[in-house]
Amino acid sequence: MAGCHGFRHVERSAVVVFAPDGKSLAAGTIAGTIDPNFSTQSTLEVFGLGDFSAPGDRLPLLGSAPAPERFDSIARGPRLPNTPLSHGPIAGGLADGSVYLWEHQQHFVYQLFLLLRSGAG
């Protein structure tokens, strides 16, 4: 992409969701994939979409958190009311059938709680 100014990318096999305000995107390691380093770790990452005039070709990482499983789906909500540091909750549907909720605040992403776990029987 030499010579293409203003374009940014992230080399990931991930499910992606944009923030409602368009200022960031969240990416969850997609189920059934292997990254270039053959890692089996699953991660939720949030990347900034703000300053495209800065040099470089990568999206800036705003925060990340480990996930117990790889992602099948991901969704994002708006900023929470009366929480100035909040960038909104992120829900992930994981490969084991569970649904987890994370919160993105400033440069941190942290797991809030397990919402649902599918079970046999």
pLDDT (tens, 9 = 90+) of the chain, 121 residues, equals 444 455 677 777 889 999 998 888 999 988 667 666 667 788 899 998 876 676 677 888 888 888 988 899 999 988 877 777 678 889 999 999 999 998 887 666 767 767 777 664 4
Alpha helices by DSSP H, listed for the chain, are none
The answer to whether the predicted template modeling score (pTM) of the entire model surpasses 0.95 is no
The radius of gyration of the chain's CA atoms, rounded to the nearest angstrom, is 15
Which residues are CB-contacts of 54 (< 8 A; sequence separation ≥ 6)? none
> 51 CB contacts (<8 Å, ≥6 apart)?
none
Q: Who's near 79: CB < 8 A, 6+ residues apart? A: 20, 21, 86, 87, 88
pLDDT given at position 36: 67
Check residue 120 and give its pLDDT: 45
HSE-up (13 A, CA, CB side) for residue 42? 18
Contacts of residue 35, Cβ cutoff 8 Å, sequence gap at least 6: 12, 13, 29
